[in-house]
Amino acid sequence: MHTDAIKENIIPKSITKEQAAVIYAHETDLLNMALFSITAKQWKARQQLPKRNIRGQATIEQLLVLAKMNSC
């Protein structure tokens, strides 16, 4: 739902796929900042195992909040 909302309401139709990817990344960072108080890039820089991702380490409660934020 969140991806569709971004596509329909935020991303202009006249931009490239690369530019759209930047917008999606920015929107994802906004959600990460709201939920985790850190971007995925900042989180990865602090981790010793670079293959992990911030959402993969989230608690069930955080994932539920994220799901709610994505559905709005």
Task: With both helix axes pointing from N to C terminus, report the angle between 60-71 and 17-36 in degrees, rounded to the nearest 10.
Answer: 130
- Give the model's pLDDT for residue 52: 80
- The residues spanned by each domain of the chain are 2-71
Residue with the bigger pLDDT between 14 and 43: it is: 43
Would you tell me how many other CB atoms lie within 10 Å of the CB of residue 42? 14
8 Å CB contact between 9 and 27: no
pTM: 0.68
The three-state secondary structure class of 14 is coil
Hey, is 38 helix, strand or coil? coil
pLDDT digits (tens, 9 = 90+) for 50-71: 678 888 889 999 999 988 887 7
